[in-house]
Amino acid sequence: MARPKIALIGAGQIGGTLAHLAAIKELGDITVFDIAEGTPQGKALDIAQSGPSEGFDAVMKGTNTYADIAGADVCIVTAGVPRKPGMSRDDLLGINLKVMKSVGEGIKQHAPDAFVICITNPLDAMVWALREFSGLPHHKVVGMAGVLDSARFRHFLSVEFEVSMRDVTAFVLGGHGDTMVPLTRYSTVGGVPLPDLVQMGWTTQEKLDAIVQRTRDGGAEIVGLLKTGSAFYAPATSAIEMAEAYLKDQKRLLPCAAYVDGALGLNGMYVGVPTVIGAGGVERVVNITLNKDEQAMFDKSVDAVKGLVEACKAIDPSLA
């Protein structure tokens, strides 16, 4: 059977890491597209030359031509600009919206059957715009945010509790921004919810609150350290987890920026929710119950995302 085809739109820091990870995991043949001449070609060649030592079989191609993504099973979009210190993800909106228009049109024309994962920020608004520009079915276009935010939360919790990250589960919902909602009640160590661990004296509420805030600021902390761009290893790994769930029909329960129409009291918008990802794309949105405080935080986050979508419509009236 022919290998699946993975198209990576954007060959920057995340795009290059995605290409390397997808090759090492032998998820398929990889085409890397970018508008910068030479960048995707150079990265593809470099990664192909890591194949003999790593021992993977994958055809790597770099291109500046959209026609080369034809027939892609998965497209992962990182085209656009990352933030610099002092910027919020929302500051990227104007520039990256234009990028989503050209990427959406490219996917619409050449890879309309692909499962599309958007990483470009501000995520919830960009995945919405990408879906609008591409015209693909909503369940085939999804944003990567919750897997990353939950991974950050899990990492911080594992350090606090001195236990393996594998035994820590975490749920982060809402928009991928300052208003994201880490749900402590639905996050566990070995199945024990975090509030119970506070009761058991494993940590204090103050320390847990600080970890929740550090999770919310997780991207900014890395931007502040790197100074020249934003995080790329963990964002790439998170998107690969989603791509693998689709390609291997794993039915993974992953928090993603998905189109929600009906669940959680929402009427047709993209925001971070628990989803089931399998061969059908986003096969289900899990309609979890929130308590009063969680609902208030989620509502605030939803409002922030709605504000960004309105800003997109104001910039590009074709979206209105």
Backbone angles phi, psi at 173, to 5 degrees: -115, 180
121 annotated as ligand-binding: yes
Pick out residues in 201-230 that bind ligand APR (CB under 6 A).
229-230
96 annotated as ligand-binding: yes
Would you give the binding string for ligand APR spanning residues 46-65, x where CB under 6 A is met?
A: --------------------
Is residue 42 at the binding interface for ligand APR, with CB under 6 A as the rule? no
15 annotated as ligand-binding: yes
Q: Which residue, 103 or 172, has its beta carbon nearer to ligand APR?
A: 103
In angstroms, give the least distance from the CB of 209 to ligand APR.
Answer: 26
Is residue 10 at the binding interface for ligand APR, with CB under 6 A as the rule? yes
Q: 243: closest CA among 68, 5, 57?
A: 5
**CB within 8 Å of 115: residues ≥ 6 apart:** 73, 74, 75, 140, 142, 243, 246, 281
Is residue 11 at the binding interface for ligand APR, with CB under 6 A as the rule? yes
Q: Which residue, 84 or 138, has its beta carbon nearer to ligand APR?
A: 84
In angstroms, give the least distance from the CB of 204 to ligand APR.
Answer: 33
209 annotated as ligand-binding: no
Q: Annotated catalytic, 176?
A: yes
In angstroms, give the least distance from the CB of 225 to ligand APR.
Answer: 14
12 annotated as ligand-binding: yes
Distance CA 145, CA 137 (A): 20
Would you give the binding string for ligand APR spanning residues 90-109, x where CB under 6 A is met?
A: --x---x--x--xx------
Tokens of 189: 């160590």
Q: 6: closest CA among 45, 58, 64, 47?
A: 58
**CB within 8 Å of 76: residues ≥ 6 apart:** 6, 7, 8, 9, 15, 18, 116, 117, 119, 239, 243
In angstroms, give the least distance from the CB of 37 to ligand APR.
Answer: 10
Q: Are strands 252-261 and 267-278 parallel, antiparallel or unpaired?
A: antiparallel
Pick out residues in 65-84 that bind ligand APR (CB under 6 A).
78-83
120 annotated as ligand-binding: yes
Query: Distance between alpha carbon 29 and the CA centroid of its chain, in Å?
Result: 21
Query: What is the sign of the dihedral through the CA atoms of 300, 306, 309 and 315?
Result: negative
Which residue type sits at 184?
Answer: T
Distance CA 122, CA 28 (A): 28
Pick out residues in 233-252 that bind ligand APR (CB under 6 A).
235
Tokens 């594992």 sit on residue:
158
Pick out residues in 124-143 that bind ligand APR (CB under 6 A).
none
In angstroms, give the least distance from the CB of 78 to ligand APR.
Answer: 4
> Contact at 8 Å (CB) between 66 and 106?
yes
Cβ atoms within 10 Å of 114's Cβ, excluding its own = 24
Query: Which residues form the interface with ligand APR (CB under 6 A)?
Result: 9-15, 34-36, 39, 78-83, 92, 96, 99, 102-103, 119-121, 229-230, 232, 235
- Binding residue numbers for NAD(+): 10-15, 34, 96, 119-121
The residues assigned a catalytic role are 176
